[in-house]
Amino acid sequence: MSESTGGKTGTDIIISDMSHCKPKSAISKRETRNRWQLMAYRTYDAEPQSGVMLGAPSFVTAPEVTLPLDISGWHAISIGVWIPKHDYDGATTIKVKLDTDPCFTRISEPEPVFGTQPKDGTSLLKEVHFKTADLTGRSLVFAKIGGTSAKKAYIAYVRLTPLDDAAVRALQSDRSRPDTRIVQATIDGISFFGGEYRTREQILELVEPYRHSDVGKVTWAFCYGDTVNYPSKVGIFLGGVRKGSHNVGQESLRQLAADGCIPQAIVAEQVHGMGLKFEAMFRLGMFGHVPPQRWFPTGRKGFVESHPQFRLCMADGTPVEKASYAFPEVRALMLGIIRESAEMFDIDGVSLAFNRGPLFVAWEKPVLDDFRKEFKEDARKLPLGDPRLCQIRFRYLNEFVRDARRVLDEVGKAKGKRLELSVWYQEQTAAGRAYSGLDVETWIREGLLDSLVGSVGGNTGMDPAIITAANAQGCRAITGLVCSGGTTHESRKGLLTNATKLLYPAGIDGIALWDSDTLPAGELWPVLRRMGHRDEFFAMAENPPERPIIGLKDVEGCNMEAENGRFGLGQAAYSCG
């Protein structure tokens, strides 16, 4: 039984007339700038053979509308969406929730591409699973994205599939299983604030898709070097700008903080309410004066710009606009941010993101001095990957990781719980890790880590030596997979293929999805959310479940035909647009 389908039983109920949505003041038969438009359509299929869809292009600021269901019992809910290409209005995103849900769930579909096939996207409806729930006394609520990140939204119909008692029991039993929660969802904590994420409910939308999935942990980035995304006494708060800042993301963080809404606190409460862990990620690369210097809030200088003596150096002494962890002052600053975050927020652990920023140590003065003291030679004459130079360079990050473990032990003791420590790194060869100054084997051997995530690319899995070392010390070995960039059917299929090869080698304890919030809802997420159900996941990844696709005859009397060699609006618009 798949959570995506909910173990469906019984006869489907199709609601294809969206004119029943309320309030009536929010809908219109004509396109306006502040209402949904009603558009009659006909299809080739028996269900729905016809209907009235609800739609709005991106520039329309349409209000929330409610669709009464007048139904009882458990049902799987799917939404039929239209994604017209001919309007040149980009991808589509529909926001949907049950009226008692804490927030909306976003259903996103990429813009279709014109191809050689008559069915180019304009001439069909696609169906997307929303959720399975008890619908007794409940209604559906629809909304769309507005503002600077506005997206079009067209809702053609709602499919409700009833579940019998046995299917409901099986579904509830499956949702209660802790052993399948092997997925780690990773969110960057900043990029979406450049759009419309300005309320508590909108922030909750970022993690709501993980409810009843195989996600067991949500990892949220807290910092980007010395800049942080929460009001801080240690780092530079990205929302610490004057009102009216030109940077939309920083202005959003400023306004949220002024309203008492701190995203980390909101998400931590929601995630824990779902029974999941919440982990704070710290992106360790700390850059300096980088033109045009828009990153830092107005009137503030970053740590590196204020302390240029702590910069990374090339072998010839040329400084690089980035902090070096060879200096204790740099390590102390990051440890201060980690301590502050662990004390302020209800986190379950910390992830040190070494995958964003190598190098961290090169030929700085502490390295040169320590090397000369140890080997009586000039380290500048050696390549960065020289074994003796790596032996010295390892020392600084080893000390940093040990101190991070100490900080978490101290804060955890005060809170009465153990705070876990994880690292995320990308080098899957010993030579690559040495070049980057990452002595991962020592961190494992000393028992500093509860888990580690090894980023992989293509079909290259984690280094077997690291997996073996981690297994021996009780450290969980997690495969890291990048989710962003799945903009075509081929790239999304490739990601699923890689996932099947990388998730289940011997010794792997789970998988971490980088940029998991970017996953398209229709094609990828229904499969990836079941990664903890091995047999089911393999079957779906090999042959992704076919979504119902319904051919359109016409919309508002406009010919959409694309059957039996016939072609309508899609061909006409592409030819003349």
Q: pLDDT for 344-363, tens place per residue?
A: 999 999 999 999 878 999 99
Q: Do residues 340 and 433 both lie within one domain?
A: yes
Range of the domain at 492: 181-290+327-360+383-532
281 inside domain: yes
The stretch 145-158 carries a mean pLDDT of 91
Domain co-membership, 473 together with 498: yes
What pLDDT does residue 533 have? 93
> Hey, what's the torsion of the CAs at 43, 49, 50, 56, to 10 degrees?
-50
Judge whether residue 238 has pLDDT over 70: yes
Specify whether 131 is located in the same domain as 195: no
| C-alpha span between 482 and 412 (Å, rounded) | 31
Q: Is residue 369 part of a domain?
A: no
The reply to whether 240 and 331 lie within a common domain is yes
| Residues 336 and 479 grouped into a single domain | yes
Q: pLDDT tens-digit profile of 258-289?
A: 999 999 999 999 999 999 999 999 999 998 88
Same domain, yes or no, for 347 and 202? yes
Residue 116 lies in a domain: yes
- For residues 449 and 84, the model is more confident at 449
Q: Beta partners for 127?
A: 80
Domain holding 439: CATH number? 3.20.20.80
310, amino acid identity: F
Question: Do residues 281 and 414 both lie within one domain?
Answer: yes
* Assigned domain for 320 exists: no
The pLDDT value recorded for residue 344 is 98
Rounded to an integer, the average pLDDT of 108-127 is 70
Specify the CATH number for the domain of residue 106: 2.60.120
Rounded distance between C-alpha atoms, residue 331 and residue 296, angstroms? 20
Counting residues of the chain whose pLDDT is more than 90, the rounded percentage is 67
Residue 349 sits in the same domain as residue 388 = yes
pLDDT at residue 8 tops 60 = no
Buried b (16+ CB within 10 A) or exposed e, 510-532: bbbbbbbbbbbbbbbbbbbbbbb
Same domain for 170 and 187? no
β-bridge partners, 42: 50, 554
Cβ-based neighbour number of residue 172 at 10 Å: 11
Among the ranges given (15-29, 84-98, 204-218), the one the predictor scored with the smallest mean pLDDT: 84-98
> Quick check: is 345 in a domain?
yes
Residue 367 forms part of a structural domain:
no
**Does residue 78 lie within any of the structural domains?**
yes
CA distance 508 to 109: 32
Q: How many structural domains is the chain composed of?
A: 2
Give the mean pLDDT of the chain: 89
The answer to whether position 73 is within a domain reads: yes
